[in-house]
Structure 1
């Protein structure tokens, strides 16, 4: 039920994998790129369960960018299958975890919007600072989501958060494509 940034894993992803927007699953790395058509399944949570956990599941999702060429950069939300885990399976818990991933996508769309509107090039300090700030903001949003919903156990708040996240994603629909063209 926590979200964390996986900078080392992202570095390995950039070195070892050529990401394609049309292929949201990078099987050999255990990473899934956000796709509305591909919701999470319990089989995606294949990491070892933390021994001292009080929670039923943990989603590890993160923002990452990749410079494709001088005119294109990808900013995407990713899910780490090997670090995400579940102690047990319940439909409402899977929905809660899916919304952690949706929050990461929301942060990616917000970053794409800022980059597009301000025309921030990917090889600039401004872009790197924005990425760092978006990552921090995303982590704060994940924590707030868990706090408000009491890790999905407060059903009324969970429903309100789902509605809010869905509305925010819809408002940023114009920025759903992970590829930013300059």
Structure 2
């Protein structure tokens, strides 16, 4: 189901419910006082607005996370298995990129947790929040560009692990969260520059330059590719 259809469904539900209320109100018996009929209509309209609100909320959730075709986030270790078919999210209706539709959008994050005396920092790809503008697109260059966004996320996840390592005891949760937040902000700036300079992968020379740069950055922190940070 495309998001265009979701919006259409919301509109139809609202028009149907409101229209049915007005129709019933207009056929009210003549012996019912006008103020009573108005009060009844107002009550029904309140229910209609409530129904619309709930429907709109469900639609908003679907546009953010496609729960109808949900797939749990994938760790960076699975990066080589990802294809455009894993981009299961919904795009906004009629969304384009400078008039074109041969583009995609990947959603990644840096998450952390504890496992005993270890801190686990993962770079994650969110299939149900990532989408392809044109579902018929099968461009390998497009996938390559999007996956390098994931590589950038992994680089900053490794920086987080590097900063969290070399200690005798695990840091406090507040410190871990602060480190993740700081690196996440830096990552967003780099992601923006990457898209801007490579123009979403369209400028092939810039795309290749960024790929080499990111590969080099990942190699520089290869010692921290293990998501788990241990403490003695």
Shorter-normalised TM range: 0.7 to 0.9
Q: What is the Cα-based RMSD across aligned positions, in Å?
A: 2.0
Instruction: Provide the TM-score with structure 1 as the length reference.
Output: 0.78
Kept in 1, the 8 Å contact 2:79–2:147? The answer is no
Distance in 2 (CA, whole Å) between partners of 1:36 and 1:165 is: 18
1:108 pairs with 2:157: yes
- Among residues 53, 60, 66, which one is paired with 2:96 in the alignment? 53
SS at match of 2:77: coil
Of Structure 1 and Structure 2, the greater helix share is in 2
Q: Which residue of 1 aligns with 2:75?
A: 33
Q: Aligned pair in 2 of structure 1 residues 126, 58: CA closer, same or farther (>3 Å)?
A: same
Structure 1 gaps, min length 5:
1-27
- What's 1:86 paired with? 132
Cα offset for 1:137? 1.1
Cross-structure match for 2:111 = 64
The number of residue pairs the alignment matches comes to 155
Q: Residue 80 and residue 119 in structure 1: after superposition, are their counterparts in 2 closer, same or farther (change >3 A)?
A: farther
Give structure 1 regions of 4+ aligned residues with deviation exceeding 4 angstroms.
none
Higher RCO structure (Cα 8 Å, ≥6 apart): 1
Which whole-Å deviations, capped at 9, do the CAs of 1:80-134 have from their partners, x for residues lacking one? 0001011223110100001001001001011111111466834243222111111
Q: Which of the residues 189, 194, 200 maps onto 1:151?
A: 200
- The structure with the larger Rg is 2
